[in-house]
Amino acid sequence: MKDATALKKSKNILTLIAVNLAIAFICLEALSLAFYFVNQKQFFYTRTKAKEKVVEDIERIGIRLNESIVERLHPFFGYVLKQGAFTNEKLKLKVNKHGFFSLYEYPFIKSNKKQFIVGVFGGSVANNFAVDEYINQRLSKKLQSYPEFADREIVILNFGNGGYKQPQQLLILNYFLALGQELDLVINIDGFNEVALSNLNNKAQIELGMPSVQHIQPLTSLASNVSPEVMSAIVQINDNKKQLKAGIDKLQTCQIALCHAVTSLRVKQLVSDYQQAIVKYDAQVKNSNSDTANSGIVYIPKADSVLPDSAAFEKMASMWYESSIGMNQILSSRNIKYFHFIQPNQYYPTKRAFTAKEKEIAISKDSPYIEGVTKGYPVLLSKVDDLQKARVNVFSAVNILDNTKETVYKDACCHYNSVGEEVLANYVSSSIIKVVRKSK
């Protein structure tokens, strides 16, 4: 009898625990549903397969989940992308053997007389412009809407890479012309890197004409003797990224909101850990080799001192000016038209009214680029008249986004979303056709 009473009491306790657990689960699930709705602006159970907000945050920060270092040192260009990286099988896009994200291997040889080859040079904005062209053909369609290009097959060759700045464009142009690359028209989109990244070179006491210290220093550090501390930091970063990738994969398979909420919080913590690991890595690199430019196996000339701003920005602008003059002279001698565009940037003040989303994702008061842009752009723009007098087709595009009320910037650096790319393609095509018609 006592055993039966005890058993009944145990069952009641288990039932009570089960009911409480069920209630707790329902409450947690309800909170998780609310958490998901606030962040994703949709209901979890009827959600579309849109990109997770935490994934967008990761992309905006610039975390590469698949491979830590996709750049490779290059004996002429400073650095290029690793061959085969970022492959898109559907679009047949990949990094070609020369280190450029493209549909084609270089030199590209025309297969028919209607093909019209356009080379795109510059940094990441130029690279994005070319890649957007591969996907959407904005520039090609706009040019082909004019009678002058109606029967032409526009072939875009991308010679841009993230962080490139003059004289890298000039050097790359010369190299591929020497290889026999045929070009009918060249577009150079630059300005931001020439002042924002060169300013960082100056602060690091690296010659302004050298490739971006942000891009080249990590590569040269790895090419030199790596300390155990640096290796430990690299291992920590890679381990963190593996966990991040696993967390993001789990987000895609969560069947209940609670799973998604817990995993999202875990991924956010891993993002924070990753950023701290990067800071630690940078500090270890500096401590282990404070003078890599001269003591490592890769030589990068150091400046005698950090130049004062006035002298530094004048030197940057002069180098940019001479590089554009050089590209124009080389191309003009071959009857190839050259078009130079100064890219718009959110840190150069114009009449643009930023959207609420842009204020959140595209403006960072802690950006390392603000000083370079605000102090450097006016000096670059002061050279435009001289470039035009030297018969360079140069265009200031710094104001082209001012009348667009939609969000156009997609990160806190310098890059544009689909709306911004459309505006830029419109401006580039209309500028080209004006010059083509004027020269007839």
How would you write the pLDDT of the chain (440 residues) with one tens digit per residue?
556 666 666 666 777 777 777 777 677 767 766 766 766 666 666 666 655 566 655 554 445 555 556 788 999 999 999 888 777 777 778 999 999 999 999 999 999 999 999 999 999 999 999 999 999 999 999 999 999 999 999 999 999 999 999 999 999 999 999 999 999 999 999 999 999 999 999 999 999 999 998 888 877 777 665 666 666 776 777 777 778 778 777 777 777 877 777 777 787 787 777 767 766 666 666 665 554 445 567 888 899 999 999 999 999 999 999 999 999 999 999 999 999 999 999 999 999 999 999 998 899 888 999 999 999 999 999 999 999 999 999 999 999 999 999 999 998 999 999 999 999 999 999 999 999 998 86
Residue 170 sits at the vertex; the CA angle it makes with 169 and 176, to the nearest 5 degrees, is 85
pTM: 0.77
- CA 111 centroid distance within chain: 32
Q: Sort residue 205 into left (φ over 0), alpha (ψ -120 to 50) or beta.
A: left
d(CA 426, CA 138) in angstroms, rounded, equals 8
Give the torsion sign (CA, 344, 347, 352, 354): positive
Which residue type sits at 119?
A: G
